[in-house]
Structure 1
Amino acid sequence: MTTAVKPYPLQFQPEMKERIWGGRALEQFGLALPEGSIGEGWMIGDHPNGTTKVVNGELAGKGLDEIREAYGREFFGTKGFSEKNGRFPLLIKLLDCNDDLSVQVHPTDDYAGLPAGELGKTEMWYILDAKPGAKIIYGLKDGVDRAAMEAAISEGRITDTLQEVSVKAGDAFYIPAGTVHALCAGVVVAEIQQNSDTTYRLYDYNRLGLDGELRELHIEDSLNVIAYEGSGASRMTTEGIADGEWLTIASSPYFIVEKGIVASKAAYSTSAESFVIVVVAEGSGKLNWADGSLDVKAGECFLLPANLGGYELDGSMTVLRSVVPA
């Protein structure tokens, strides 16, 4: 029988991932990076390719998978599981795009080509930082269907089919499965996504990977899963939020993400349905609960168990708050 543990906000040791397009920008958050081009920090993960371990409190040293097995129903909430594989349903990342990412697309949960036990991948991006002139690829130009995409690929002009969008800090993008997309050089991003590591590459600029070989493309899978009629993708700028106000910046069957401005102490509560993910996008302050308090700052991510109950945010910070829909 599992010994009861009082719920408290969990912070994890990030799993850093070297990527051909990565850099060193995540150091700005005080994160310790291994050598190399670090493109992804998996901040909260329960996946075979990256499982984060708790660094604070009574559960320090335990992986999110162990916590799921011991306390999952109480900590994650009645909706806080993937119904497909039982795992924690979300993956929380910080991304440093020092170079362009591949042009890619993700499948839905029901795609027949998914690896066993893997989920589809609907995600959202919040732009933490963007250099002047930064852009992303976000969807296809009007009228591009499968035949047009196949022809463009075979003729070496896929970039003609892609829609480019300029970005700045504070922009938010919802990217349902089936949306063709690519982050481009000069952006740092917080990503909230389904707990999946399945990506199909359409185009990769004919560049070599970390192993010196051309990176694999997945043309047939990509053509199969693209939502040519539109995926429901949406984007917004998020300025002008008042202290204590929360703006919904992404809403999907898998997650709801809100952006809030904390300029004074404010009280909130978790619900029995879902954990709460808190990502500090800017600033610093405190996260208080009945049994303790944590100093928090930009770049830190916390998992608040569903059974935590009341908590307070206090300080001067911009916060992203994510839950699983009830």
Structure 2
Amino acid sequence: MNLYPLKFNPILKERLWGGSKLGDIFGKPIENDITGESWELSTVKGDISVVANGALAGSSLQDLIDTNAEALLGKSVVERFGKEFPILIKFIDAKQDLSIQLHPNDQLAKERHNSFGKTEMWYIMDADKDASLIVGFNKTVTKEEYQKSIENDTLIDLMNYEKVKEGDTFFINTGKIHAIGAGVVLAEIQQTSDVTYRVFDFNRKDKDGNYRELHTDLALDAMDYEKKDDFIVAYDKHKNVVNEMVNCPYFKTNYINLNDSLSQDVTQRDSFTIYMCVGGSATISNDLGTAKVKKGETVLLPANSKNITIETTDVTLLEVTI
């Protein structure tokens, strides 16, 4: 099968906390002003990405994997994950604060939900003045202290707030309590999982006047109660080269800022390659075709690509592999 660079139709998600920036900034075809997420690459059940470009337009990502697993994913990826796409790629617009939440690790997620855990990273694409994230506790707490804060509605007093600007990057381990703050637009790279334990939702009600479900008990044994300064990603921003950002067991992410063309021999990579365009535009090619991307778009190149060429005068990309 001719596995050229593949683009997919965005899967748009209404969220209580969502806004309109996915349409305003990126041109996503949103239908309302509470659109919180654009799922760019997904094989989550019920939300499977569909090819938008070229001869394979209309094919689902899962169907392509089922029929071309090693060519698309890479032999080593298939050995680890079978015919499951191990990454979920999103753009997120938080007009309001997201709930304070955490995600279980692989073991707990498997036992409780037959799912992967959810390790993730965030790259800030746009932020209002004084916008912030919650990442972790501001001190090490005991389980009992945490439970008392939930009972007394004082959890936010234990939270660590981080002001953010464009380009800031955060790595969120499983178990780390966190929330995206109002006024932040970001790119999210995560394990394929939709398992979230919501522990505080700012006492908000949904459009029907109901409080959203909290997962207080499930979170207790999944949470890391230690204060850890392990979440800010420091990375180089050298032009026209590949700069490593994150290298973890679940994904590897590089920062690429170009004002000229870049070619890479990826014969030995043995993984698919994802490019999230977080600034500018480019034409990205492999041996079998090309795709144009602009800010807010994503392209998937199959593992059997031998060479990848990026042609541009100005682009910033997040390059994601396994």
Both proteins in one fold, TM over 0.5: yes
> Are residue 187 (structure 1) and residue 184 (structure 2) matched?
yes
Partner of 1:257: 253
> Are residue 131 (structure 1) and residue 161 (structure 2) matched?
no
Q: Does the CA-based 8 Å contact 1:170-1:237 persist in structure 2? A: no
| Deviation readout 1:125-147 (Å, 9 max, x if unpaired) | 00000111000000012221212
Map 1:142-181 → 2, pairs under 5 A = 142-181=139-178
| Deviation readout 1:66-125 (Å, 9 max, x if unpaired) | 111111121101233484674100000000001000000000010067554311100000
Counterpart code for 1:285: A
Q: Does the CA-based 8 Å contact 2:5-2:301 persist in structure 1? A: yes
Q: In structure 2, how many angstroms separate the alpha carbons of the residues matched to 1:56 and 1:232?
A: 42
Could you list the runs of 5+ residues in structure 1 that have no partner in the other structure? none
Q: In structure 2, how many angstroms separate the alpha carbons of the residues matched to 1:135 and 1:63?
A: 36
Map 1:223-234 → 2, pairs under 5 A = 223-229=220-226, 233-234=230-231
Q: In structure 1, how many angstroms separate the alpha carbons of the residues matched to 2:221 and 2:249?
A: 22
| Deviation readout 1:224-249 (Å, 9 max, x if unpaired) | 111123678421355x6222222222
Q: In structure 2, how many angstroms separate the alpha carbons of the residues matched to 1:181 and 1:257?
A: 21
Select the residue among 44, 54, 60 that pairs with 1:57.
54
Partner of 2:315: 317
1:255 shift after superposition: 0.4
Partner of 2:238: 242
Q: In structure 1, how many angstroms separate the alpha carbons of the residues matched to 2:271 and 2:233?
A: 25
Q: Does the CA-based 8 Å contact 1:92-1:193 persist in structure 2? A: yes
Q: Does the CA-based 8 Å contact 1:84-1:117 persist in structure 2? A: no
Counterpart code for 1:321: E
- CA gap 1:295/1:180 in 2 versus in 1, 3 angstroms: same
Q: Does the CA-based 8 Å contact 1:176-1:232 persist in structure 2? A: no
> Are residue 290 (structure 1) and residue 287 (structure 2) matched?
yes
Q: In structure 2, how many angstroms separate the alpha carbons of the residues matched to 1:53 and 1:244?
A: 32
Partner of 2:92: 95
Partner of 2:214: 217
Q: In structure 2, how many angstroms separate the alpha carbons of the residues matched to 1:201 and 1:81?
A: 32
Counterpart code for 1:318: T
Q: In structure 1, how many angstroms separate the alpha carbons of the residues matched to 2:256 and 2:298?
A: 15
Counterpart code for 2:319: R
Q: Does the CA-based 8 Å contact 1:128-1:170 persist in structure 2? A: yes
| Deviation readout 1:141-189 (Å, 9 max, x if unpaired) | 2221212111111121111111001000000000011110000100100
1:288 shift after superposition: 2.3
1:252 shift after superposition: 1.4
1:201 is paired with a residue whose SS is strand
Q: Does the CA-based 8 Å contact 1:178-1:231 persist in structure 2? A: no
Q: In structure 2, how many angstroms separate the alpha carbons of the residues matched to 1:113 and 1:162?
A: 28
2:217 is paired with a residue whose SS is helix
| Equivalent residues, number | 319
Q: In structure 1, how many angstroms separate the alpha carbons of the residues matched to 2:196 and 2:113?
A: 15
Counterpart code for 2:169: A
Q: In structure 2, how many angstroms separate the alpha carbons of the residues matched to 1:210 and 1:50?
A: 23
| Deviation readout 1:163-222 (Å, 9 max, x if unpaired) | 001000000000011110000100100000000000001100110124431000001111
- CA gap 1:156/1:82 in 2 versus in 1, 3 angstroms: farther
